[in-house]
Amino acid sequence: MKTTLSILLITIHLPISGFAEKIRIVPPPVRSVPAPISRPAFNTPNVAGEHVRLLDGSVFKGSFKGFNENGELLWEHPGISPIAIQPAALAKLTLTRNAKTAKNHSSVAHLINGDRLTGDLKKLDDKGLMINTWYAGELTIDRHTIQALTPGIIGGESLYAGPTAEDQKSWKYTNNGSYKWTFKDGGFQSNGSSANVGRMVKDMPKSVKMEFEYQWQSGSPSLYISLLSDNLASYSAGNCYSIRISSTSMYVYRYSRINGGLSSSRLTPSSVSHRLNRTRLRSHVALCVDTTKKTLAVIVDGKLVGTFRDNSGRDMDALGKGFAFHSRSSIPARISNVRVTKWDGGLPSGGTTSSVALKQDYVKFNNDDSFSGNLVGITDGTLKFKTEFAELPIPLNTVSQLHFAKERLKNPAISAKAIRATLVDDIKVTGNIKTWKDGEVTLASPVFGEATFKADAFKIIEFNLGKPRISASINTKPQNSVIERAHAIRAAQEARVPAQVAEGIAQELEILREQKGKFKLNIRRK
């Protein structure tokens, strides 16, 4: 059954003498509800090249030409040029950009609104953090919006960062029928269980840290990661460590090929309990291995979840030089911002107590020491930190991370016209676009004020952050299985689609019940 989710309204202004025909795309009157900014969009068609996506699921390929004085997006498309798309109809703009324009910066600021800004640190005082950037010059970030600050590169020499459109072809894909990983918008997305994607690292060290962003659509996720692997197509058919992550627990296995057969054993302890963030539907995961010490650590969202020891007695030199992701759930998932570095052995202490984290700043050193107090400021490579006993001058190169007191943080208000941009090096920034012309973008942010960005730094721009996105796969693509169709229905329910759409989905649901008999999905009707 094919259900129509929305209707694209197009008004054509007839040409007046000397003027070209213009098509103006207007959004349909759709009732909307707030949606989390950071929640990933799944079940959308993978479109190559430069394109713009509307809230109703419509996609236009072509080329971006800027914005007019009314804030409409100007789009050039063969045969129907020019197109002016009203702001209220926009969902996402994907641009063709070259990541080589980016410059590596030593400092990273993680903001309370989900933004991530990099730069060369100049100073920090009671008002803000001043950084120099390749993409927007000098920025001063409101101190009360900074959750955490990495003053320099953690983990040592970088061995890999990606994936990118340029390097994703060097990854090995091992799919299971229709279930597969696909590259999209700077990351890999899976649509079902038992699909694998991985790559080799040329100079894999004996002590290594591999970290990534993990997102899932709903429910209880399940992901296996192979680390130090010599067989990217499997988590169990070669030499590797296999880290198994679910919504409530983690296991680590050591697999070995011995005399033509396979041997497996769990590391010690056999498992640890941990609950992934099922509200945000995303987590930052870091895996740290030291083959000389035969230890492995798992860090989730900056907190140490568990440390494991390899007591198998197997040869450590037999381990491989690759890593891979193995989807073990029918729930759509996404992997992005993968980074492999040499590991210096430092680990988080497990976090501060809730009372300390709420009221005091927290500094963590490269040697894993830490203490709490009040951060006075940073100047000339020195951090001034005040404890109840004294004000201490601390060399900045000894500090791995700073966390700011939660009770002093302020989440800036986001206007209805705000966009969220992803730059070519995965910087995240939220604000209002004032102008876009002559290769420059003027962006106003409640975090750093008004700043001028390089236009070629922008890779993805998301619009209408609080409005639901309608996936074309719900109504225009046949689902591969009954299970996948059920997930699509659940996604539509969570998006609170209009009443007439819910009616059509409810009819599909009845068909599914006849086919499967055990689905317990309820459709809310408005």
Mean pLDDT value of segment 233-237: 88
Contacts of 394 (CB under 8 A, 6+ apart): 363, 382, 383, 384, 385
Residue 8 identity: L
Domain CATH code at residue 268: 2.60.120.560
pLDDT of residue 45: 59
pLDDT of residue 43: 56
Q: How many domains does the chain have?
A: 2
pLDDT of residue 498: 45
Q: In whole angstroms, how far apart are CA 132 and each of 45, 103, 118, 146, 370?
A: 38, 11, 9, 16, 28
Does residue 63 fall inside a structural domain?
no
Helix-then-strand count for the chain, H and E: 3, 39
pLDDT of residue 138: 96
pLDDT in tens, 385-439: 998 778 889 998 888 889 899 888 998 888 888 999 989 877 899 999 999 999 9
Tell me the residue range of the domain where 265 lies.
Answer: 158-342
Q: Quick one: pLDDT band at residue 230, thresholds 50, 70, 90?
A: very high
Does residue 484 fall inside a structural domain?
yes
Does residue 265 fall inside a structural domain?
yes
Strand 22-26 to strand 83-85: parallel, antiparallel, or no bridges (unpaired)? parallel
Looking at residue 85, what DSSP letter applies? E
pLDDT of residue 481: 39
Decide which of 277, 308, 342 is a domain's last residue.
Answer: 342
Tell me, yes or no, whether 192 and 337 share the same domain.
Answer: yes
- Give the residue carrying structure tokens 């996948």: 484
Mean pLDDT value of segment 227-232: 93
Q: CA 322 to CA 312: how far, in whole Å?
A: 20
Q: Which of 94-98, 137-141, 260-264, 350-354 has the highest mean pLDDT?
A: 137-141
Does residue 297 fall inside a structural domain?
yes
Name 361's bridge partners: 373
Q: CA 378 to CA 394: how far, in whole Å?
A: 9
Q: CA 501 to CA 2: how far, in whole Å?
A: 11
Q: What is the 3-state secondary structure (H, E, C) of 485-512?
A: HHHHHHHHHHCCCCHHHHHHHHHHHHHH
Does residue 249 fall inside a structural domain?
yes
Q: Which of 161-165, 468-472, 480-484, 495-499 has the highest mean pLDDT?
A: 161-165
Among 24-33, 103-112, 161-170, which stretch is predicted with the lowest mean pLDDT?
24-33
What is the average pLDDT score of the chain?
78
- Give the residue carrying structure tokens 């894993």: 368
Q: Which of 75-84, 156-165, 477-486, 500-509 has the highest mean pLDDT?
A: 75-84
Residue 200 identity: M
Q: What is the 3-state secondary structure (H, E, C) of 362-431?
A: EEEECCCCEEEEEEEEEECCEEEEECCCCEEEEEHHHEEEEECCHHHCCCCCCCCCCEEEEECCCCEEEE
pLDDT in tens, 17-44: 333 345 555 554 433 333 334 455 565 5
Decide which of 310, 342, 374 is a domain's last residue.
Answer: 342
Six-digit token string for 467: 């409005």
Looking at residue 39, what DSSP letter applies? P
- Give the residue carrying structure tokens 């409810």: 506
| 105-304-217 Cα angle (round to 5) | 80
Q: In whole angstroms, how far apart are CA 178 and each of 190, 194, 223, 424?
A: 10, 10, 18, 30
For residues 520 and 280, the model is more confident at 280
pLDDT of residue 96: 85
For residues 448 and 513, the model is more confident at 448
Q: In whole angstroms, how far apart are CA 268 and each of 204, 228, 310?
A: 24, 18, 7
pLDDT of residue 87: 93
510 burial (CB, 10 Å; 0-12 / 13-18 / 19+) is exposed
Does residue 252 fall inside a structural domain?
yes
Decide which of 296, 315, 342 is a domain's last residue.
Answer: 342
The percentage of the chain sitting over the pLDDT mark of 90, rounded to a whole number, equals 35
pLDDT of residue 466: 81
- Count Cα neighbours of 108 within 13 Å in the Cβ-side half-sphere: 15
What is the distance between the terminal CA atoms of the chain, rounded to a whole angstrom?
A: 21
Six-digit token string for 89: 């109809």
Q: Quick one: pLDDT band at residue 134, thresholds 50, 70, 90?
A: very high
Q: What is the 3-state secondary structure (H, E, C) of 107-166?
A: EEEEECCCCEEEEEEEEECCCEEEEEECCCEEEEEEHHHEEEEECCCCCCCEEEEECCCC
pLDDT in tens, 265-318: 999 998 898 888 777 788 889 899 999 999 999 988 777 888 999 999 999 999
pLDDT of residue 520: 40
Q: Quick one: pLDDT band at residue 456, thresholds 50, 70, 90?
A: very high
Query: pTM of the prediction?
Result: 0.59
Mean pLDDT value of segment 455-459: 93
Does residue 488 fall inside a structural domain?
yes
pLDDT in tens, 313-350: 999 999 999 999 998 888 889 998 888 888 877 766 55
Residue whose C-alpha is closest to residue 221's, from 40, 57, 477, 347: 40
pLDDT in tens, 185-213: 778 998 878 889 999 998 888 899 998 88
Q: CA 41 to CA 217: how far, in whole Å?
A: 8
Six-digit token string for 158: 């970088």
Q: Quick one: pLDDT band at residue 253, thresholds 50, 70, 90?
A: very high
Q: Which of 106-110, 177-181, 415-419 has the highest mean pLDDT?
A: 415-419
Does residue 295 fall inside a structural domain?
yes
